[in-house]
Structure 1
Amino acid sequence: MSQNKNLAALSEAGVSVWLDDLSRDLIRSGALQDEIDTHSIVGVTTNPAIFQNSISKSASYADQVKELAASGADVDAAITAITTDDVRAACDVLQPVFVDSDGHDGRVSIEVDPRLANKTDETVAQAIELWKIVDRPNLFIKIPATKAGLPAITRVIAEGISVNVTLIFSVERYREVMDAYLDGLDAALRNGHDASKIESVASFFVSRVDSEIDKRLDAIGTPEALELRGKAGLANARLAYAAYREVFETETRFPDLQAHGALPQRALWASTGTKNADYPDTLYVSELVAPNTVNTVPVKTLEAYADHGWVNADSIIGQAKASQEVFDALTRVGVDLADVFELLETEGVGKFEDAWNDLLGATQTQLDAARG
């Protein structure tokens, strides 16, 4: 099979294309392998909403639910078993990619219970538990970039576990995430771990920033405010990449770790499906192209990019000054950026927790039905 030319060009520009979706049907049908073979997919991300959608809408889990019910498993144990089985199977499908990329790609992410987002010790404990249960080297444990999540990131990295940091909205928080990663590498080396085996990505959310800021710009309503619609998400991501380059290419701390085999924590663009129909449907893919980055692409956006996506090789590098000017203009027209980012983090955690609670309810219903 040949790769789609648009997605192949994106990969050649240095962007690792990861699928933002997973289900048992996707694995068993061979569709995931097809995406690898034809759409340059080299990784998979999951989140509570994806699992809730997959498990509640497919009959593929019925037999396992019956087995779990017969064994007396409670709902939390059932969900752990179901989700880790799917992730392990996806890791196995992506194992050749993992090997071919020297561990750089071929990764699958699973998130800690979102109800633990503000609990450091519990997050660390579950991250270690999930790492052991899945038992695959090409696993990422997703930890949210909340204040409680930051020390958890450091402690989990210190255990030699690869981490996907999720729900990052501001450059300020992103800098804290990078510091937490570097602190974790320091500790991992002290603990005797091989730093070259520890990978990490930082998932920087894009479209949600535009959705919230556009709403505020519409409320302000001035010509100056309306002119800024659709510009904040890209500007924010571009400033994040500039911060990434400072930390991993310019500042003095990382080279010492790199000398011991440590790898940069790649910037990952998340929430890249456009939510405003007025914007191009591949906007947050085509306009976020830079070396050593990841884009987690929803199925609908992946199909759109395969059909008509483009690569703007000048979309990030060299855009920091212009991006800062966008942020300065947003402040001048009255957008409280600190409030935007705080709200988005709170809402992000809340949405994942709501999805998890829905999954708990649906699974409990299935367990009860299986027990008669």
Structure 2
Amino acid sequence: MTDALGRLSEEGVAIWLDDLSRARISSGNLGELLDQQHVVGVTTNPTIFQKAISAGQGYEEQVADLAARRVTVEEAVRMITTADVRDAADVLRAHHETTGGLDGRVSIEVDPRLAHHTAATIAEAKQLAWLVDRPNTFIKIPATRAGLPAITEVIGRGISVNVTLIFSLDRYREVMDAYQAGLEKAKSKGLDLSAIYSVASFFVSRVDTEVDKRLDALGTPEAAALRGKAAVANARLAYQAFEEVVAADRWQALSREGANAQRPLWASTGVKDPAYPDTMYVTELVAPGTVNTMPEATLRATEDHGVITGNSIAGTYEDSRGVLDALEKLGVSYDDVVRVLEDEGVAKFTHSWDGLLDSTRAELERLAGGKG
């Protein structure tokens, strides 16, 4: 056992848990992770909620009450998920206060079916912020084309945002632009910029999954040599883009007004290919001012045998660009990879949301005597 998680925190990486359930809250497990494993935040998504609520533990009484009230399934799901986020936010409130608002946060996502509808995303974000009603929450908005203006509008209203489903470097720059535009809008309204926070969730492991599939189809030694390199290279170049943006005049002007930098967050950090080290997307992406949100298995693996040797991103930009260039030369199109991943990401979360609606509907009908 190492203190790799402690070292990670010392290097300026905020450790968040990529999971939440009512049982995790009520059992005290979440509190233990905060106290013992350096966890300072929690992220959720539709897939996490589908798994938690389908398991059923701890939800019976609330579902029975919702069934008695004959609420719609959409209202039931929102009442259940916001209750979990609100309770988790209360558990993390002390961390929120001791970090001056930077951490101790819980994220909840807008309905993924709204990912391509700007006005509906804005309305949903406002509703979620009102429902959870805790200062230490992030509203997650996907980085789709329609999501960009929604990010600006929601930030401009003073609501803190976790921008999710970022795969592309170009889209990431657009996300950072949308955040700054939102802060400028908030400033024009006289809002306190220091009270607004944001993270940009750059997805990691899914990039290797998609790229490796294409490399395997090529079946050449050159292709095999690039397996497992695309995701880390892509994320490292994202950090380079972040450094460039925060050094620019536009951001410096906002910073002087008290604005908080939109931290890069490494998401999808559970390794999916057993051929790779199970801590790869943690140890290879260490840099100050970042967040790494981990499934519990990745958290435990890092705690057990992760090796943190300092900043592992600095000095890698040329090599990282070389990886993406080499992929292009082999015919693996970066633009096509990130397009496919964004489309699949929205589709997967929508599928999980639909499954959550279906399982909740079945429970509501059962508890209401099958009368809907």
Q: Which interval holds the TM-score relative to the shorter structure?
A: over 0.9
CA displacement, residues 74-106 of structure 1 (integer Å, 9 cap, x when unaligned): 100000100000000000000000000000100
Aligned to 1:196: 194
**Mapped partners of 1:147, 1:4: distance in 2:** 42
5 Å matches for 1:36-115? Answer: 36-115=34-113
1:116-147 Cα shifts (integer Å, max 9, x gaps): 00000000000000001111110000000000
Q: Percent same amino acid among aligned pairs?
A: 58
Q: Which residue of 2 aligns with 1:371?
A: 368
Instruction: Quote how far apart the aligned CAs of 1:4 are.
Output: 6.6
Amino acid at match of 2:104: G
Residue number in structure 2 paired with 1:333:
330
Is residue 359 of structure 2 the alignment partner of residue 359 of structure 1?
Answer: no
Q: Is residue 245 of structure 1 aligned with residue 243 of structure 2?
A: yes
Alignment of 1:199-278 (within 5 A): 199-248=197-246, 250-278=247-275
CA drift of 1:314 comes to 3.7
Amino acid corresponding to residue 261 of structure 2 in structure 1: P
Decide whether the 8 Å contact of 2:200 with 2:262 is kept in 1. Answer: yes
The residue that corresponds to 1:321 in the other structure is 318
The answer (yes or no) to whether the contact 1:4–1:39 under 8 Å persists in 2 is no
1:169-195 deviations in whole A, cap 9, x for unaligned?
A: 011110000000000000011112110
Alignment of 1:25-36 (within 5 A): 25-36=23-34
CA contact (8 A) 1:4 1:38 kept: no
The answer to whether the Cα contact below 8 Å between 1:49 and 1:355 also exists between their aligned partners in 2 is yes
Distance in structure 2 (CA, Å) of the matches to 1:318 and 1:147: 32
1:203 match: secondary structure: strand
Q: 2 CA distance for matches of 1:240 and 1:255? A: 19
Q: Is the 8 A contact 1:17 1:297 kept in 2?
A: yes
* Cα deviation code 1:315-371 (max 9, x no counterpart): 211211110011111111110110000000000000000000000000000000010
CA deviation digits over 1:157-210, x for unaligned, max 9?
A: 000000000000011110000000000000011112110010000000000000
Alignment RMSD:
0.9
> Is the 2:11–2:311 Cα contact (8 Å) retained in structure 1?
no
Counterpart contact for 2:31–2:91, Cα < 8 Å: yes
Q: Which residue does 2:280 correspond to in 1?
A: 283
Structure 1: 5+ residue stretches without partners: none
CA distance in 1 between partners of 2:308 and 2:198 (Å):
25
Contact 1:287 1:312 in 2 (8 A): no
Separation (CA, whole Å) in 2 of partners of 1:275 and 1:108: 25
The aligned counterpart of 1:153 is: 151
CA deviation after TM superposition for structure 1 residue 7, in Å:
0.6
Letter in 2 for 1:194: D
Distance 1:263 1:257, change over 3 A: same
1:16-70: per-residue Cα shift (whole Å, max 9, x none)? 0000000000000000000001100000000000000000002310110010111
Paired with 1:235 and 1:309, the residues of 2 have a C-alpha distance of 20
Check the 8 A contact 1:244/1:267 in 2, yes or no: yes
Is the partner of 1:237 in helix, strand or coil? Answer: helix
Given the two structures, how large is their TM-score scaled by the length of structure 2? 0.98
Does the Cα contact within 8 Å between 2:17 and 2:293 map onto a contact in 1?
yes
Shift of 1:245: 0.2
SS at match of 1:60: coil
Distance 2:239 2:116 in 1: 27
Partner of 1:166 in structure 2?
164
Counterpart CA distance in 2 for 1:109 and 1:188 is 21
How many correspondences in the alignment? 369
The answer to which of 264-273 and 58-67 deviates more is 58-67
